[in-house]
A and B are shown apart, each in its own frame.
Chain A
Amino acid sequence: MATKHSRMSARLMISPAVLLLLGWMLIPLSMTLYFSFLRYNLLMPGMEEFTGLTNYRYFLTDPAFFAALWNTIALVVGVLVVTVIGGILLALLLDQPFFGQGIVRILVIAPFFVMPTVSALVWKNMFMNPVNGLFAHAAKALGLQPFDFLSAAPLGSIIGIVSWQWLPFATLILLTALQSLDQEQLEAAEMDGAPWIKRFFYIMLPHLARAITVVILIQTIFLLSVFAEILVTTNGGPGTASTNLTYLIYMQSLLQFDVGGGSAGGVVAIILANIVAIFLMRMIGKNLDA
């Protein structure tokens, strides 16, 4: 039973947060949109002029854009496949009773807390380096030729590194969801003679569906913006072999100083991210009513 007075003060209390976020969205977004229609290069100050859709035409017909779009999709899908399947299997395992559950849980969750630059550099140097890396040592010990991960399979290697960072997230959320499963339902099915595989597909998986969707959507939002891992490992190369959209736009704006072109790319990235975001928002919105 809110009085008029308390409603007023409530509005007053929300407004700082709302105004700040509104400013944070509207000011840079409108600037990006505005720049995207300009010929604007920081190396040529004072030459700015309106060029209509030229920046978009250049950006969208650049072969690097298609490479980056493909790499972005491959990176997102690759990491999702590894982390969701791995996460389900791991959650099923960790949900079983065993000795030292607490400690194993801590070990599994740890990679999520490692900052992206550290995990990328540790993997790049101490594991994937073709001369001094542990994988190279292991290959030599087995009499195999060491594999130069980041040169021969740059995107695959980055997918591996990012998957290691996100597997704990997927596992933790799926484990949390699994633990809320009604055990009696499972036992009833077991007593009725349903084999393990059937119990998994008909009881566990439907129960997990919601959590899996949440994992996919949230990871997609973050994975579309993978940046640090690429910056410190391959710099997007060789060529554009591991350049994603985020990295391409970064190169165009801050390395080539092409503000107009970078902004056009930014608008494209925002549109793509929004497509994913709409689905995620629906999911969370539904939950808010429940």
Chain B
Amino acid sequence: MARSVSTRRKLITTLAAWAIGIAIFFPILWTILTSFKTEAAAIADPPVWFNFHWTLDNYVTVQERSNYFRHFMNSVIISGGSTLLGLIIAVPAAWSMAFVPAKRTKDVLMWMLSTKMLPPVGVLVPIYLLFRDLGLLDTRIGLVIVLTLINLPIIVWMLYTYFKEIPGEILEAARMDGASLRSEIIHVLTPMAIPGMASTVLLNIILAWNEAFWTLNLTAAKAAPLTAFIASYSSPEGLFYAKLSAASTMAIAPILIMGWFSQKQLVRGLTFGAVK
């Protein structure tokens, strides 16, 4: 039974919700707008909203001055690589925990989760020294390894909660029909697991893309992804708001779009299934 709501009340709610929504989104909107302004217009007082000379110069400058595209690709490779590697390790683990649970499965899951609670700064020194000695500092492969490890518990957990929802009887039936373990995974499990795996991948790319502790501490210039590249704007130099905005807009746009698609899965992934 749906509650009937008066139109008046619905209109007031609409007004309030939109006002708050726009206010929360405003810093992002302002950054996008500023990225198309000249540096002078970017700091104009009173601020200019839409009636300015729109230009793409900032995007060109950001690319030319610092080879922005390389940092963008670093982000793509690091977040994509760590997600792929994590998936390869996590799928078999989550599969067996969901379908062949042992007495200790719950303990293993909880223990994996507990590694996520470790504050990164607690292992900053040894990881930094290990990376220095192994020549992994400022390399993409080094960051792929670290991000795979820190996000592995989330991947295992998310996959586990999705796999859990696949009825076990279907697998039993396939097994009775003489399907081998391999074909069971490829022909029966995979098609049913694809949606869950897609959300896991999406959430993990978002988390890896925005990770800003290890990326800042373990990279310098070569392997710096966008998080670390953008941080170089923290030392101001003349007028730079428009350029900062252009660099920022390109850094957040892909993730913003992905994030909007994965809203629902986000809740589940980030609460380890505690809220669905």
| A residues whose Cβ falls under 8 Å from a Cβ of B | 1-2, 6-7, 9-11, 13-14, 16-18, 20-21, 24-25, 27-29, 31-32, 35, 90, 93-94, 96-101, 103-119, 121-127, 132, 134, 137, 140-141, 164, 167-169, 172-173, 176-177, 183-184, 187, 210-211, 214, 218, 221, 224-225, 227-228, 231-233, 245-246, 249-250, 253-254, 259, 262-263, 265-267, 269-270, 272-274, 276-277, 280-281, 283-285, 287-288
B271 touching A218 by the CB < 8 A rule?
yes
| B residues whose Cβ falls under 8 Å from a Cβ of A | 1, 3, 5, 10, 13-14, 16-18, 20-22, 24-25, 27-28, 30-31, 34, 43, 45-47, 89-90, 92-93, 95-97, 99-100, 102, 106, 108-110, 112-130, 149, 152-153, 156, 172, 181, 206, 209-210, 212-213, 216-217, 226-228, 230-231, 233-234, 236, 240-241, 244-245, 248, 251-252, 255-256, 258-260, 263, 266-267, 270-276
B92 touching A16 by the CB < 8 A rule?
yes
CA distance A94 to B19 in the complex (A): 12
Nearest-CB residue, chain A, relative to B210:
A115
Q: Which residues of B contact A285 (CB under 8 A)?
A: 106, 110
Add 14 more A-B contacts to A183-B3, A211-B275, A272-B119 (CB < 8 A).
A2-B100, A10-B102, A31-B130, A32-B125, A94-B17, A107-B21, A122-B245, A126-B244, A164-B24, A227-B121, A228-B216, A270-B119, A270-B122, A283-B274
CA distance A78 to B186 in the complex (A): 49
B93 touching A18 by the CB < 8 A rule?
yes
A253 touching B18 by the CB < 8 A rule?
no
A90 touching B20 by the CB < 8 A rule?
yes
B273 to chain A, nearest CB (A): 7
B31 touching A122 by the CB < 8 A rule?
yes
State the main secondary structure of chain A at its contact with B.
helix
Q: Which residues of A contact B127 (CB under 8 A)?
A: 28
State the main secondary structure of chain B at its contact with A.
helix
Q: Which residues of B contact A210 (CB under 8 A)?
A: 274-275
